[in-house]
Amino acid sequence: MKWDGEARRQPGEYNRSKETLDMTANGLTIGALAKASGLARSTLLYYDRLGLLHPASRTRGNYRWYAPADVQRLEQIRLYRRMGIPLRQIADLLDDGHEATAEAILKRRLATLEREITDLRRQQRCILHILEQGELKKETEMITKDRWVAIMRAAGLTDEAMHNWHTQFEEMEPAAHQEFLESLGIDAAEIKRIREWSCRQ
């Protein structure tokens, strides 16, 4: 689940909602904008609190009213969110107006993605090593903790990368993480320490 409230979409839904937004020549209430964009109403309120997307005015009934320019700004926000850019940096992109600022933010995001891709490739190699070792396990001895650490290091993972690996494993599949640690022949006390360590950010 995305923390900023972006809804999961089926193929074609984004284009349909964009067509709806493009037709809002006179503006939209917050409920209509939420429905048209596929975002939660609470997300739009959050954007308002951050100063990222303010309604142009309010109706006589005190409802937030978003003008066409606001709707267009929301489309830009959604585009940058799909790039993985943090909301506070999106505000800089939209409000600063300097090309150098936008270029610097986008370059930082690209560099972050490249690091994440590199880390994912290392994790992929590690998993392949473990799977290969699992096949050998049928004919040889069980994988031990030391053997597993050696495999991780051979795959190019640093201590920090291994910590991230355990953190993701613990967060996504805690029961499977416990079972995996037990399969390495680690005693209960050390398993507890490892799982607590995995929860530290």
* Residue among 78, 24, 98 nearest 56 (CA): 24
User: How far apart, in whole angstroms, are the C-alpha atoms of residue 201 and residue 199?
Assistant: 6
Q: What's the pLDDT score for residue 31?
A: 92
**pLDDT at site 9:** 41
pLDDT at 67: 93
Q: Give the Cα separation of 134 and 64 in Å (integer).
A: 59
pLDDT of residue 144: 78
Show me where the domains of the chain are located. Answer: 13-95, 114-198
Per-residue pLDDT of the chain (201 residues; tens, 9 = 90+): 333 444 344 434 444 444 444 444 578 999 999 999 999 999 999 999 989 999 999 888 888 999 999 999 999 999 998 888 888 889 888 887 677 778 888 898 888 888 888 888 888 777 777 777 665 555 445 577 887 788 777 777 788 888 888 887 887 788 888 888 888 888 899 988 888 887 765
Burial class (CB in 10 A: 0-12, 13-18, 19+), 47: buried
Q: What is the pTM of this model?
A: 0.49
Closest CA to 18 of 41, 43, 39, 44: 39
What is the CATH architecture of 13-95?
Answer: Orthogonal Bundle (1.10)
Q: What span, in angstroms and rounded, lies between the C-alpha atoms of 181 and 188?
A: 9
